Amino acid sequence: MRTWHYLDFIPTKRRVRFTRNGHPYTDEKTREEMKLIAMSWRDPKLDGPLAIYVGVMKPTPKGIKRFLPFIIKPDVDNVLKAILDGLNGVAFKDDAQVVLATVKKYDRWPGIKPGVIYELHEIGGDDGTFIEEGICEHWSHGAGWLAEHGSADNR
């Protein structure tokens, strides 16, 4: 079964901080976001190769012209890293299981609230899903989910 999960914030992986003695640590905001991501996963732990689809929803900032490309922070790789780190050990054993990752920024949706939707599923399971056929099918499903639910939480 495939389920889209919704986060009402946009997580991002920040730089590792260092103490005065040179020991690395993760800042409090990143740790809190990782806890919330882990709590959003309510499905059983997945085995085998995985695919993840992430949609970053951010409204167009005021003052940005409609015809200009929508290129703003956060970077999609930092959002993906934050989600994978938050799900590590909860949704899967290790993030090395992820063999396909697709991240898309949704912009210029009227009244959209900032947030993230994501779907994580096994590839090549009993439902016959393979890497080649997954991308277009699931992005159309994700866009349909957005149109139907907007920014509402599907938990």
CATH of the domain at 124: 3.30.1330
Q: What angle do CA 103, 105, 106 make, to 5 degrees?
A: 130
Helix (H, G, I), strand (E, B) or coil at 37: helix
Helix (H, G, I), strand (E, B) or coil at 139: helix
Question: Residue 101: inside a domain, yes or no?
Answer: yes
**Number of alpha carbons in the 13 Å side-chain half-sphere of residue 148:** 8
Question: Residue 94: inside a domain, yes or no?
Answer: yes
Question: Residue 77: inside a domain, yes or no?
Answer: yes
Q: Measure the CA–CA gap between 143 and 150, rounded to whole angstroms.
A: 10
Give the structural domain span for 47. Answer: 5-13+27-149
Q: Measure the CA–CA gap between 141 and 131, rounded to whole angstroms.
A: 16
Q: What angle do CA 45, 88, 7 make, to 5 degrees?
A: 90
> In this predicted structure, which of 8-17, 69-78, 136-145 has the lowest mean pLDDT?
136-145
Segments of the chain assigned E as strands: 5-7, 17-18, 24-25, 50-57, 98-106, 115-122
Question: Residue 18: inside a domain, yes or no?
Answer: no
Question: Residue 40: inside a domain, yes or no?
Answer: yes
Task: Tell me which of 12 and 53 has the higher pLDDT.
Answer: 53
Q: Please write the tens of the pLDDT for every residue from 32-79.
A: 999 999 999 988 999 889 999 999 888 766 666 655 556 677 888 999
Structure tokens at 100: 């396909």
The domain tally of the chain equals 1
Question: Residue 53: inside a domain, yes or no?
Answer: yes
Question: Residue 20: inside a domain, yes or no?
Answer: no
Question: Residue 19: inside a domain, yes or no?
Answer: no
